[in-house]
Amino acid sequence: MGQVAFDTQEFVETLEKSGLKKEQAKAISLVVRKSHEVADIATKADINDVKRDISDVKRDIADVRKDMDARFEKTEAKIDSQIALVRKDLQLEMAGIRSEQKLIRWMLSALISGMISLIIKAFFVASV
């Protein structure tokens, strides 16, 4: 923190003009000067420095946000492409399974038709 400017000579002269003795005015001036030295007072320059620091931090945060957004977009794009590949693989796999199901259905219907024809032949041909 900065120091507050304090003109001790002017202060002593002002006290003397108001009727205090020179020794008393010097003593009061010394006490006031020491109190200013002890006081932790922010000057306009200190406040402006803090404002600049805050502005720098805000700019840094904005830069980090932009970087994070860019990284998230890249990551999302990678994830989307991986999902698309998995979907294609699943569609191909499902198409293979569907064709196998059709073949199995056709074979079962052929088997059932053959069994029915054998049963019909066994009952009706034998009775004729």
Please write the tens of the pLDDT for every residue from 46-87. Answer: 889 999 999 999 999 999 999 999 999 999 999 999 999 999
- Tell me the domain boundaries of the chain: 1-41, 42-127
Distance CA 11, CA 46 (A): 26
C-alpha to C-alpha distance for 63 and 71, rounded to whole angstroms: 12
Does residue 109 have a pLDDT over 80?
yes
| Helical spans, DSSP H, in the chain | 8-17, 22-38, 44-120, 126-127
CA 97 to CA 85: how far, in whole Å? 18
**DSSP 8-state assignment for residue 39:** S
Angle 108-111-114 (CA atoms, 0-180°, nearest 5)? Answer: 150
State whether residue 128 is helix, strand or coil: coil
Per-residue pLDDT, averaged over 117-123, amounts to 87
- 7-18 pLDDT, tens per residue? 777 878 888 888
